[in-house]
Each structure stands twice: as structure tokens, then as C-alpha cells.
Amino acid sequence: MARDTMTVRIQPQTRKALDGIAASLDRDRTYIVNQALEAYIDVHKWQIDHIRQGLREANAGAFATEAEVNRTIARLRKK
């Protein structure tokens, strides 16, 4: 697969941490950065997808009832 080169500026402690992780996994820094970026993108895509779904539901008027909200709050308070 073709790869693009991208230059970023990072804090020295971040580079040191990346190098430490790379060394402990016997991988190069590029591998670690790519894994970190993929994980970041996956999490944010998930969040954006769920926010959009919630907005679609809200725009359609699909809200939880007051009773459903109260049951959920009561359940969470027990934890």
C-alpha cells in the first residue's frame, strides 16, 4: 500500500513516550503512530456516528419518555 509522508510537531516528552512504546513492542515509531492514529480515528468516527444517529432520532421526535429517563437514572444511582 502506498504511504504518504506527513510532518507534525510534537512535544519532546511525547516523542520519548512513543520511542519507549516502540522499543517495548520491538516496532518502529511509525508503526506506533499509525496505530495510535487509527485508534483515534475509530473512536471519533464512532462518536460522530452516534451523535448523528441521536440527532436524526431527535429530529424525528423519538425521545425517551420521562418514565424511561427516571428508570435509567434510578438504575445508574444504584451502581
Residue in 39, 34, 27 with CA at minimum distance from that of residue 6: 34
User: How many Cα atoms sit within 13 Å of 45 on the Cβ side?
Assistant: 6
pLDDT in tens, 10-59: 999 999 999 999 999 999 999 999 999 999 999 999 999 999 999 999 99
- pTM for the full predicted model: 0.72
